[in-house]
Amino acid sequence: MQARDMGMCPIDPQNLLQNPGFETPSVEPDGNGKAVNTGIPASSIPGKWDGCCSQSGGGTTWTVSLGTPRCGLRSLLVSSTSANANVLNQTLQLPAKVGKTLTASAYVFVQQASAGAKLGLDIWDLTANKVIASSPTISQSTADWQKLELSIPVPSGGNFQLRINTSGTLTAYVDDPSVLIP
């Protein structure tokens, strides 16, 4: 892994997510903060991030990493092992934005991906209880950070989640997620 020196990315004051650069230090004793994907307990990654989805075999672990930030000091290390769909999500409640187009994005850097592994973003409609938009997914290692993006109108009710969705067996970094609604 080459050293990266990109410094702090500009903070977009319009970004609706909390802790989008994963920069907020955790209160975890290890100083990182980590979410083992059991659903209970919820994620301890600061900034309203929550893990989801228990499963019998395999799983996904999210750890705030100091090793490979795209910007700032931290990024999110995602490690999936024979996982079904696993998500790290952040809920947004924006009834005033219904019908306006949201754009969600994040940068990912996939270190290793076994056959069948996938990493992508989606929007989960909390009213309809379904995915309403998905970014392209990445299923192979990448040479550098790669941007994933999607756009969709804010659904009826305005309650939705941005989800970082991973399955199969892979190791990747995620940084700088964003939800913008002009």
Q: Which residues form the interface with Ca ion (CB under 5 A)?
A: 21, 69, 71-72, 74-75, 175
- Cβ-based neighbours of 3, under 8 Å, separated by 6 or more: none
Report the chain's C-alpha Rg in angstroms.
15
Query: At closest approach, how far in Å is the CB of 54 from Ca ion?
Result: 28
Give the residue with the Cβ less far from Ca ion, 107 or 124: 107
Give the residue with the Cβ less far from Ca ion, 117 or 174: 174
For residue 38 the two structure tokens come to: 């059991």
Query: At closest approach, how far in Å is the CB of 7 from Ca ion?
Result: 11
Query: At closest approach, how far in Å is the CB of 130 from Ca ion?
Result: 30
Give the residue with the Cβ less far from Ca ion, 24 or 84: 24
Query: At closest approach, how far in Å is the CB of 128 from Ca ion?
Result: 32
User: What is the bridge-based pairing of β-strands 75-93 and 159-180?
Assistant: antiparallel
For residue 174 the two structure tokens come to: 């995620």
Give the residue with the Cβ less far from Ca ion, 9 or 131: 9
Whole-number Å distance between alpha carbons of 21 and 7 = 12
Query: At closest approach, how far in Å is the CB of 11 from Ca ion?
Result: 11
Give the residue with the Cβ less far from Ca ion, 26 or 159: 26
Torsion region of 97: left, alpha or beta (phi above 0 gives left; psi -120 to 50 gives alpha): alpha
Whole-number Å distance between alpha carbons of 165 and 163 = 6
Whole-number Å distance between alpha carbons of 180 and 13 = 10
CA dihedral 159, 88, 64, 107 (to 10 degrees): -80
Chain position whose Cβ is nearest to Ca ion: 21
Please say whether the beta carbons of 18 and 90 come within 8 A: yes
